[in-house]
Structure 1
Amino acid sequence: MSFNDGAQLDPSQVQDRRGGGGIGRGTKIGGGIGGGILVLILALFGINPDILSGLTEQGPGTQQEQTGPGSIAECRSGVSADERLDCRIVGTVNSLNAFWSKYLPERGVEYPRPETVIFDAGVRTACGPATSEVGPFYCPADTTAYFDPGFFQLLETRFGASGGPLAQEYVVAHEFGHHVQNILGTLDYAQQDPKGPQSGAVRVELQADCFAGLWTRYATTVKDPATGQPFLEPLTPKDLRDALSAAEAVGDDRIQEAATGRVSPEAWTHGSSEQRQAWFYRGYKSGDINQCNTLTGKV
């Protein structure tokens, strides 16, 4: 979806850690749900999870926020969100925070806003260090969603997703879906049963897809708190096709077949293309979080 030109973005909701100097050396990633989420994402993108054993945390020093030309400090309007990918991430984060901070409290659940980080090369997190190869991820230990803008080109060129804006916004909304799961207490379900088409891992990922669809249904009416105007322009059929193409592109079956020439459902961690599309669309059509219960029944 394109942004309204008059939308006022708030770049303070996103940290820009590009050019932060990598992840350095130190202790290895620990266990727990954070490390597990990273492993699942690595598996999704066809990367050997064993590389995690070679990743190490940053030693002394901190990564610096980027504030010069080309930084997200320039992301102030809907025009910039339509022109620049990093600004589109900022605008999507603004819209997601505005949506969930209203939707959940109306249902008796507080919404503590997550942090969001844009990075390149590598980043340190409370779940351990990660490189760009990990792809977008959410770390529950620091309640932060992490995005390398370079991934979105990979989504299009390697995985065959549409290059449309909602294909990219869907990815951001999916990671925020994990934050909502963290609030609701469903995120750790992934660790109870980590692989297979009906596994806890797949169920958690499909619920995050459903939550992304839920946001999509209301996104064009979510208003900028500062101006009272919607962040995004009305949804078009092409927008919806773009989002569904992204959900299809990151299905386990499609990635496995492209990588190995065969499909192994017993190794699935995120769900098939059909499952991912179906649960995104269910959230979009229903607009009801209660329809996103992937944890019981067949998915």
Structure 2
Amino acid sequence: MTRSGGHGARRTVLTIAVTVVTLAATACSTEIDGEVRSEGDIAGLPVTHFESGLKNNAPTPKLTVDNLSDSDDDRLAVAAIADVSAYWTQQFPRHFDQNFEPVEKLLSYDSTGEEIEVCGATTAAAAMNAFYCPPEDLVAWDRGQLLPLLRQRFGPMAVVTVLGHEFGHAVQYRLGDKAGIDEQTSTIVKEQQADCFTGSYFRWIAEGRSQHFTVSTSEGLNQVMASLFFIRDEPGQSHAAQGAHGTAFDRTYAFQLGFESDAATCAAIDQADVDSRITERPFDPNDAGMGDISIDDRTMGLLQQSLDESFAGAGVPGPKIVNEGGSCPGGVSTPPASYCQDTNTVTIDMAALAELGQPIDREAEFSGQESAAGGLGDFAAFAEVVSRYVQGIQAGLDVPVDNANAGLRTACLVGAWTAAIDVDGAVLRPSPGDLDEAIAELLQPRSLISADINGHPAPNGFARIEALRHGYFDGSSVCSSDYP
């Protein structure tokens, strides 16, 4: 986040539609471990819990792949290629009134081994990568570093995600004008379409129509969301730059659009659509911290001011943020931040939040090692406090804060607040990469941003990110209508 300084025009203050429900009082202090609920649905599909990946009875693909090894990662990759090919063979006639022509060439390579020529370059230039080469109509993947890292860190469906994305580019190549793709089309439009196509493919898997893979709508889709977070662009890049792929927020948006709609919707993504909603942008020249500020008494005071101003229209007094250890003596505690109903305060553990607010260690991400600092970024820490503040606003309005929708409504309100303060003159303003830090927190097993007052998170990462997105794009009113 950044501190803007001064005062300028602000958006209309946030309001919350009121649903009158009497809340049960909590008699004693209890710390909650963060049990995950399983109510509701994921984009119209039931919440399911099972191991996702290659089916035991999956057919053996009959594909010609250059430089193929007998490794588990190559077997997984070939199954993914066969599966996504079957998907597009079915869907192309339905959505685009033409048959799908198979990709001409497939290549597996080892970026740690001997160099080979591909798409006018060596695999050393491609390095840890997966890509589509239009001149050769070729999909290639690195079995040496990329696929093992994805599989080990995020599970097998992460590999399917990346290869499904590359096949999305092959789809664009075949559609041409039908997808609005030509030599002038920006990279970001192509990438958003490919992520969206991947989402439509995963919907097909989730509906049980794949011969090769099965994916649960809870842990399985979490693997997908985590892999999209991993392959995000660095904060501060411009979406207009050549090679821009988008932030994690942008990439998950496109994937979820495809999952919730269809391939034809994905093909309709164009520059105007991307320009209207993309969050990837350069750092402000006055942002001395390049998106990071400290978590301390001063910045918590600014956060208090920002929240009080943003939610002034709610008509109830907002809770006070107090540095008193993060636990409620007379109620349920969800450290490092807890909403205490009896005192209408948000008590925080400043030291724990400061640790959480350390920048994400990108080098540790790529090496597959745990970060020494263990941080998720300053915005993740601020957003956890915001989530408890909006619990207080809702409780003051007799809106239920302990039911199945409460966690999603809370994540939605965090998103609405984030958009509302993204204006010149706001005392705190989100920086490039902040929404990605929120996603990093939302993908944690014990996400507080998406938790109800008792610390129970919403069902899965897909639903949590979707709720944040709804609030960010559509404002606070949808938080009550979408999550009543």
* TM-score > 0.5 by shorter chain: yes
Partner residue in 1 for 2:209: 222
CA apart distance, 1:146: 0.2
Within 5 A, what are the aligned runs for 1:165-244? Answer: 165-185=156-176, 189=181, 191-192=183-184, 200-220=186-206, 221-223=208-210, 230-244=211-225
Q: Which amino acid aligns with 2:86?
A: A
Matched, 1:145 2:118: no
Matched, 1:248 2:229: yes
Q: Which amino acid aligns with 2:184?
A: Q
1:111 counterpart (87, 91, 100) = 100
CA RMSD between the two structures: 2.6
Partner residue in 1 for 2:444: none
Within 5 A, what are the aligned runs for 1:256-271? Answer: 256-257=234-235, 263-265=236-238, 267=241, 269-271=244-246
Which blocks of at least 5 consecutive residues in structure 1 are unaligned? 19-65, 73-83, 194-199, 224-229, 258-262
Partner residue in 2 for 1:7: 58
Which blocks of at least 5 consecutive residues in structure 2 are unaligned? 1-51, 275-484
* Cα distance in 2 for residues equivalent to 1:190 and 1:163: 34
CA contact (8 A) 1:282 1:292 kept: no
SS of the equivalent of 1:15 reads: coil
Partner residue in 2 for 1:124: 117
Task: Label 1:134 to 1:140 Cα distance change in 2 as closer, same or farther (>3 A).
Answer: farther
CA apart distance, 1:15: 1.1
Partner residue in 1 for 2:33: none
Greater mean deviation of Cα atoms: 280-289 or 172-181? 280-289
CA apart distance, 1:189: 4.3
SS of the equivalent of 2:140 reads: strand
Within 5 A, what are the aligned runs for 1:73-92? Answer: 84-92=72-80
Task: Label 1:296 to 1:113 Cα distance change in 2 as closer, same or farther (>3 A).
Answer: same
Within 5 A, what are the aligned runs for 1:35-54? Answer: none
Count the aligned residue pairs. Answer: 212
* Cα distance in 1 for residues equivalent to 2:244 and 2:215: 33
The normalised TM-score by structure 2 is 0.40
CA contact (8 A) 2:137 2:170 kept: yes
Matched, 1:294 2:297: no
Matched, 1:135 2:129: yes
CA contact (8 A) 2:198 2:258 kept: yes
CA contact (8 A) 1:127 1:142 kept: no
* Cα distance in 1 for residues equivalent to 2:156 and 2:91: 23
CA apart distance, 1:188: 9.0
Partner residue in 2 for 1:78: none
CA apart distance, 1:291: 4.1
SS of the equivalent of 1:88 reads: helix
Q: Which amino acid aligns with 2:118?
A: T
CA apart distance, 1:285: 1.3
* Cα distance in 2 for residues equivalent to 1:136 and 1:248: 16
CA apart distance, 1:86: 1.5
* Cα distance in 1 for residues equivalent to 2:181 and 2:93: 23
CA apart distance, 1:296: 4.0
CA apart distance, 1:143: 0.9
* Cα distance in 2 for residues equivalent to 1:178 and 1:269: 14
CA apart distance, 1:289: 2.4
Task: Label 1:234 to 1:136 Cα distance change in 2 as closer, same or farther (>3 A).
Answer: closer
SS of the equivalent of 1:116 reads: strand
CA contact (8 A) 1:92 1:169 kept: yes
CA apart distance, 1:126: 4.3
Task: Label 1:112 to 1:123 Cα distance change in 2 as closer, same or farther (>3 A).
Answer: farther
CA contact (8 A) 1:17 1:120 kept: no
Partner residue in 2 for 1:164: 155
Q: Which amino acid aligns with 1:88?
A: L
Task: Label 1:13 to 1:188 Cα distance change in 2 as closer, same or farther (>3 A).
Answer: farther
CA apart distance, 1:111: 0.8
Q: Give aligned-pair identity as a percent.
A: 23
Partner residue in 2 for 1:61: none
CA contact (8 A) 2:180 2:270 kept: no
CA apart distance, 1:190: 7.3
CA contact (8 A) 1:214 1:289 kept: no
* Cα distance in 2 for residues equivalent to 1:264 and 1:106: 37
SS of the equivalent of 2:54 reads: coil
1:96 counterpart (77, 80, 84) = 84
Deviations 1:56-87 (A, max 9, x none): xxxxxxxxxx5xxxx26xxxxxxxxxxx2211
CA contact (8 A) 2:64 2:106 kept: yes
CA apart distance, 1:264: 3.0
* Cα distance in 2 for residues equivalent to 1:190 and 1:264: 23
CA apart distance, 1:5: 0.7
Task: Label 1:272 to 1:191 Cα distance change in 2 as closer, same or farther (>3 A).
Answer: farther
* Cα distance in 2 for residues equivalent to 1:272 and 1:244: 12
SS of the equivalent of 1:98 reads: helix
The normalised TM-score by structure 1 is 0.63
CA contact (8 A) 1:123 1:130 kept: yes
